[in-house]
Amino acid sequence: MTNFEDTSWKPHEECGVFGIYSKDGKEIPPAYACYNGLLALQHRGQESCGIAVNDSGVISYSKDMGLVSEVFSDSVLNRLGGQIALSHVRYSTSGDSVRENAQPLVMRYIKGTLAIAHNGNLTNAHELRRELEKNGCIFQTTIDSEVIAYMIARERVGAVSIEEAVFRAMQKVEGSFSLLVMSPQKLIAVRDPNGFRPLCMGKIGDDIVFASESCALDAVGAEFVRDVEPGELIAAGPSGLKYHYNKKPANRSLCVFEYIYFARTDSKIDGLGVYESRKEAGRLLARQSPVEADVVIGVPESGIDAAIGYSEESGIPYQKGIVKNSYIGRTFIKPTQLERERSVRIKLNALESEVRGKRVVLLDDSIVRGTTSGRIVSMLKDAGAKEVHLRISSPPFLWPCYYGTDIPTREDLIAVKHTVEEIAQMNYADSLAFLSLDNLPDMLKGKCSGYCDACFSGKYPTEIPQEMIDHRPQSYCTPIQRL
Ligand code: SF4
């Protein structure tokens, strides 16, 4: 989603969606399915969450700020009875971290009630919103998902079905969207023509399930059916499944950072396992940037998979060298720098017995501003590591993202201003290497037929409106800062 506040762009977020269509709601109560699905997608957003259910055409919902386990109790879930449901977890920046921006959005219009849950970021939302406002629309939230809702409602007036209205609206919005829409009778899943964000379909008996990642299907015992294709709309309704395909050709552009960091290790996206790709990144780094060392360790969680790959390829033993406190959230999705820094201090600790007196290869997934890696390297050296060689399983961040990832402007990206050697020194590392851009296709093992790497390469798969570029000044960017 994109956030609007005043008339300026606000930073972007990474979200998760989950929905279920059932004829009778008997296989698994839809609200409980959503609850379990959202727990599995919690890594995609920890600030707010919500579930909307449809009981024979009547849509009710519950949403609030907080983690899924904090927002939903048994008594709330028991009140959310019905046959169809959709749900959402959200990450946002501090200014927009408010209840009214929580999803699903539920709106009443001339044809009844609609609920929508959106992961992504529209690149023409500003323009569309301005046009809608000129025509008298009043917005309740500051997110671009509401623009989509208005577009669908407007198209529905002249369309024969809700899926036709959603399909028509999709021709007018640009950017990234993996979207679920619930009408009184149907659950509709749509993925943008480039397929920036993941979306997959599963089934439990006769019930149809859609989720941002396959780990959420596993969590509810659903069998994976397939990914929703870029530009595809799938509608689940009383007469079964209907499919519509966007006829406008677009390059497949799945966000490569889903594999590197966002997605859960046990998910499979567009035919490739996330764990497989992360391990491969480690293998490639071992070939690309070898170093003599005694032990390979990974920064939990996503650095561990790459560390295993590096170890397998190099023959240097893998050890658990850093212990993570699992009971606090990901620093990446904490909205303020202060919150992030506090989290780092209580999140990780070095295992002195595994690193003292050793030359360590430390695998991490990315360096953005460069402040966190230095703290981890120092922590290992304080624990007695003789040398620390930092290996990063992604190329350096050099460009902002306009498709829903909260990457700072160029002036805040450490790799824009400093050489690799300088970054190594600033992070107290004895050496540093990033996975090269050329290695990304190999990391994806030829299984991902098209991907976006614009934040590394500067090559954006779609045209970015000048207005969007102009409305992304530094002050509106919350840093992508991990750990
Ligand atoms: S610019 Fe980067 S973060 Fe954004 S969609 Fe492309 S690869 Fe993902």
Q: Tell whether ligand 1 has an atom less than 6 A from the beta carbon of residue 448.
A: no
Of residues 180 and 411, the one with the higher pLDDT is: 180
**Catalytic status, residue 137:** no
What pLDDT, on the 0 to 100 scale, is given for residue 477? 29
pLDDT in tens, 106-125: 998 888 899 999 999 898 88
Sign, CA dihedral 142-145-147-152, equals: negative
- For ligand 1, atom 6: residue with the closest CA: 452
What pLDDT, on the 0 to 100 scale, is given for residue 338? 63
Instruction: Give the range among 96-105, 309-318, 466-475 with minimum mean pLDDT.
Output: 466-475
Q: Tell whether ligand 1 has an atom less than 6 A from the beta carbon of residue 405.
A: yes
Q: Tell whether ligand 1 has an atom less than 6 A from the beta carbon of residue 281.
A: no
Work out the average pLDDT over 230-259.
Answer: 92
Nearest atom of ligand 1 to the alpha carbon of 256:
7
For the cut 90, the answer to whether the pLDDT of residue 460 exceeds it is yes
* CA–CA separation, 139 and 146 (whole Å): 7
If phi > 0 it is left, if psi is from -120 to 50 it is alpha, else beta; for residue 105 that is: beta
372 CA distance to ligand 1 centroid (A)? 21
Work out the average pLDDT over 268-282.
Answer: 95
Q: How confident is the model at residue 207 (pLDDT cuts 50, 70, 90)?
A: very high
What pLDDT, on the 0 to 100 scale, is given for residue 97? 62
Residue among 15, 215, 401, 455 flagged as catalytic: 15
Q: Tell whether ligand 1 has an atom less than 6 A from the beta carbon of residue 83.
A: no
What pLDDT, on the 0 to 100 scale, is given for residue 465? 84
Q: How confident is the model at residue 340 (pLDDT cuts 50, 70, 90)?
A: low
What pLDDT, on the 0 to 100 scale, is given for residue 339? 62
Q: Tell whether ligand 1 has an atom less than 6 A from the beta carbon of residue 394.
A: no
- For ligand 1, atom 8: residue with the closest CA: 255
Nearest atom of ligand 1 to the alpha carbon of 404:
4
44 CA distance to ligand 1 centroid (A)? 15
Q: Which of 226, 284, 230 is nearest to 255 (CA)?
A: 230
Select from 253, 255, 399 the residue to mutate for testing ligand 1; criterion: most ligand atoms less than 8 Å from CB.
Answer: 255
Q: Tell whether ligand 1 has an atom less than 6 A from the beta carbon of residue 114.
A: no
The DSSP code sequence of 336-372 is: SHHHHHHHHHHHEEE-HHHHTT-EEEEEES--SSSHH
* Helices and strands (H and E) in the chain: how many: 18, 25
What pLDDT, on the 0 to 100 scale, is given for residue 5? 32
Of residues 132 and 339, the one with the higher pLDDT is: 132
Nearest atom of ligand 1 to the alpha carbon of 400:
1
Q: Tell whether ligand 1 has an atom less than 6 A from the beta carbon of residue 208.
A: no
Give yes or no for a cis peptide into 301 (omega within 30° of 0). yes
What pLDDT, on the 0 to 100 scale, is given for residue 469? 80
- For ligand 1, atom 2: residue with the closest CA: 455
For the cut 80, the answer to whether the pLDDT of residue 98 exceeds it is no
Phi/psi at 31 (nearest 5 deg)?
A: -65, -40
What's CA 447's distance to the chain center, in Å? 20
For the cut 70, the answer to whether the pLDDT of residue 334 exceeds it is no
Mean pLDDT of the chain: 88
Percentage above 70 pLDDT, the chain: 89
For the cut 80, the answer to whether the pLDDT of residue 375 exceeds it is yes
Nearest atom of ligand 1 to the alpha carbon of 399:
1
Residue 65 parent element (H or E): strand 58-65
The stretches of 21-120 forming alpha helices (DSSP H) are 30-40, 68-71, 74-79
254 CA distance to ligand 1 centroid (A)? 8
Question: 345 is written with which tokens?
Answer: 């201090």
Percentage above 90 pLDDT, the chain: 70
252 CA distance to ligand 1 centroid (A)? 13
Q: Tell whether ligand 1 has an atom less than 6 A from the beta carbon of residue 257.
A: yes
What pLDDT, on the 0 to 100 scale, is given for residue 373? 86
Q: How confident is the model at residue 343 (pLDDT cuts 50, 70, 90)?
A: low
21 CB contacts (<8 Å, ≥6 apart)? 83, 84, 186, 187, 207, 208, 209, 236, 237
Question: 436 is written with which tokens?
Answer: 């090269």
- For ligand 1, atom 5: residue with the closest CA: 255
Of residues 223 and 4, the one with the higher pLDDT is: 223
For the cut 80, the answer to whether the pLDDT of residue 448 exceeds it is no
What pLDDT, on the 0 to 100 scale, is given for residue 480? 37
Beta strands of 384-446 (E only): which ranges? 387-392, 431-434
pLDDT in tens, 9-54: 223 457 999 999 998 888 899 999 999 999 999 999 988 999 999 9
Q: Which of 137, 229, 132, 141 is nearest to 189 (CA)?
A: 229
Work out the average pLDDT over 355-367.
Answer: 96
Q: Tell whether ligand 1 has an atom less than 6 A from the beta carbon of residue 452.
A: yes
Q: Which of 466, 479, 333, 478 is nearest to 5 (CA)?
A: 478
- Global pTM value: 0.90
Q: How confident is the model at residue 341 (pLDDT cuts 50, 70, 90)?
A: low
For the cut 80, the answer to whether the pLDDT of residue 456 exceeds it is yes
What pLDDT, on the 0 to 100 scale, is given for residue 344? 64
Q: Tell whether ligand 1 has an atom less than 6 A from the beta carbon of residue 402.
A: no
- For ligand 1, atom 4: residue with the closest CA: 401
Select from 192, 405, 409, 472 the residue to mutate for testing ligand 1; criterion: most ligand atoms less than 8 Å from CB.
Answer: 405
What pLDDT, on the 0 to 100 scale, is given for residue 328? 63
Q: How confident is the model at residue 379 (pLDDT cuts 50, 70, 90)?
A: very high
Residue 105 parent element (H or E): strand 105-109
Phi/psi at 254 (nearest 5 deg)?
A: -60, 135
